[in-house]
Structure 1
Amino acid sequence: MTERYLIPSVVHACEVFRLLASRDRGMTMQELEASLNLPRTTVFRLLRTLVSEEMLEKRGKVYFSGANLMQLGLQIIHSDRMQQMAIPHIQRLALRTGHTAHLAVPNHGKALIVEVFDSPNPLMVSKRPGVEAQMHCSSTGKVFLAFLYYDNLELLLSEHPMEKHTPFTITNMQDLKKELNRVRALGYAVDEREYNENVRCVAVPVRNSLGTVVASVGITAPAAVFPKSAVPKVAEMVKEAARGIYKDAYQLDRVSSS
């Protein structure tokens, strides 16, 4: 396609998306201006428009990919190799535990549910694919806070305040850090009836072949049938599922690179 058919503003927006996709810590307006080699007023208007459309998210002076952009990418996430490899492990986890199993990915301040396999139990207590969960009171979210965002908790939670959902919800930084240190020590996180007073959840990190946490796998169940005493045993089953996903990912990466 010849350049005369291209729309410059759309091209620049795509360049912004590509730049931010390569920077986990986001970029400031000054950094984007230098990378794009565009006038400051043009960059300012472009960023304001993308933030308004929620294609970008601004935290302080730093820009990140936004919620709507992530939602548009959900279809791609559904075809993602990691997710496809995770599906049989999630299904087995649900059957072994008797509880609903799910896979989630970090979505700039929230946990995005991308796969769910329902429990044989007819009581539906799990969120559906495409739904986002707050991080401070969900087991999957705590996994990401503990292993991905621990060093930037204040910044992240200033943009996503800790809302109180039940009497058990953690709503202050001191208690949250104590909880996240426990997550890091045990290797799994628990939603101890913090999002829904009648629901208990457990989740563990899923790592890629580089050891980076890229997802979280977990189970959700009514507290009445999933007592607190059963958490350690169930957590080991969830860890086994996460190890299976990692093993498949590592083997596939090794075959692809050979």
Structure 2
Amino acid sequence: MKNKTSKNEDSTINNSVYSALEIINYLTGKDWCRIKDIAEAIDMNVSKVHRLLNTMMKLDFVQYDSITRRYQLGLKFFTIAYHMSQSSLISTAKIHMERAAKELFSTINLGIINNSKTEITCIFRLEGNLSPGLSDVPIGVNKTVNASAIGKCILAHLPYLEQQSILQKINYIKYTDSTITTAEGLSNELSKIKEQGYSVDDFEYNENLFCIAMPIFLNTGQVFAAVSVSLHERPQKEHMTYVLAVLEETASKISQELGYQPAM
């Protein structure tokens, strides 16, 4: 049995909150658990555990299977983890994006793909000295992947079968005459992106905006996000080489800080 003397005697601790967190801690990493096992593991009577579980179920912190009468952590934790991953990504990427924005005098964007993999969201942006306000969509607003350098870049680095399945679900909105509007056309573009290592938005969403993007990877080797640069015009060959070098260094350093180690 656990010794709870220190908790009960500490006037700075809210015992109900403490007990709820004990339950969460026990459920972490476990599949469906019986209430009896939870109560025994944390040395708490079943009726109190039941009340706490019911309270947490109201806010989706816990799920209950009425058939097996077992509990596990709820979907709320996935939401929390998602926002924490965004926050961690931004704090990691910011210093490298600042350097890129200064070197390129251009707007640098950081974006992730949504759960359906058919839209992307820009979660952070730094404006360059020569390109204030140069962006296509506001922070937090979704944009279809077919007209996005970030979206195409992430899609290109997903497993092939997953990628091909996603292509059939995209709403191929035509924003400009350059927008890719078919699954076949986008599939061909993704093959090219995977081979060359970067993607472009060649005035496909905004007739006055050219973007280049490169992928960001996690320690697992999975693509997690992409970083892009927004330009007023398509760069000439020499400048394109310079932009790609700066963007590659930016994406590489962010990936490395996230634990990614490229294959030798």
Indicate whether the TM-score tops 0.5: yes
Q: Deviations over 1:41-74 (max 9, x none)?
A: xxxxxxxxxxxxxx99xxxxxxxx9xxx86x777
Cα distance in 1 for residues equivalent to 2:86 and 2:231: 24
Residue 133 of structure 1 aligns to which amino acid in structure 2? K
Partner of 1:29 in structure 2? none
Could you tell me the TM-score, scaled by structure 1's length?
0.68
Choose which of 126, 131, 136 in structure 1 pairs with 2:141: 131
- The answer to whether 1:184 aligns with 2:194 is yes
What is the identity percentage for the equivalent residue pairs of Structure 1 and Structure 2? 25
Q: Deviations over 1:133-166 (max 9, x none)?
A: 2111100000121112642345434443111100
- Range 194-203 or range 211-220, more displaced: 211-220
Residue 87 of structure 1 aligns to which amino acid in structure 2? K
Q: Deviations over 1:210-252 (max 9, x none)?
A: 22211111111222xx43644343122111111111233339x
Choose which of 81, 99, 106 in structure 2 pairs with 1:99: 106
Cα distance in 2 for residues equivalent to 1:78 and 1:245: 13
Choose which of 45, 49, 66 in structure 2 pairs with 1:38: 66
Partner of 1:7 in structure 2? 54
Structure with higher Rg: it is: 2
- The answer to whether 1:120 aligns with 2:167 is no
Partner of 1:76 in structure 2? 84
Contact 1:167 1:194 in 2 (8 A): yes
Q: Deviations over 1:86-110 (max 9, x none)?
A: 1110111111111100111221222
Partner of 1:61 in structure 2? none
Matches within 5 A, 1:101-250: 101-108=108-115, 109=117, 110-126=119-135, 127-148=137-158, 150-223=160-233, 226-227=234-235, 229=237, 230-250=239-259
Q: Taking structure 1 as reference, are residues 243 and 12 closer, same or farther at Cα in structure 2, changes over 3 Å only? A: same
Q: Taking structure 1 as reference, are residues 88 and 176 closer, same or farther at Cα in structure 2, changes over 3 Å only? A: same
Cα RMSD (Å) of the superposition? 3.1
Cα distance in 2 for residues equivalent to 1:231 and 1:178: 22
Cα distance in 2 for residues equivalent to 1:136 and 1:4: 48
Cα distance in 2 for residues equivalent to 1:237 and 1:219: 10
Residue 38 of structure 1 aligns to which amino acid in structure 2? S
Cα distance in 2 for residues equivalent to 1:39 and 1:157: 37
Cα distance in 2 for residues equivalent to 1:234 and 1:122: 15
Secondary structure of the residue aligned to 2:259 is helix
Q: Which 5+ residue runs of structure 1 have no aligned equivalent?
A: 17-35, 41-54, 57-64, 254-258
Instruction: Give aligned pairs, total.
Output: 204
Partner of 2:19 in structure 1? none
Partner of 1:31 in structure 2? none
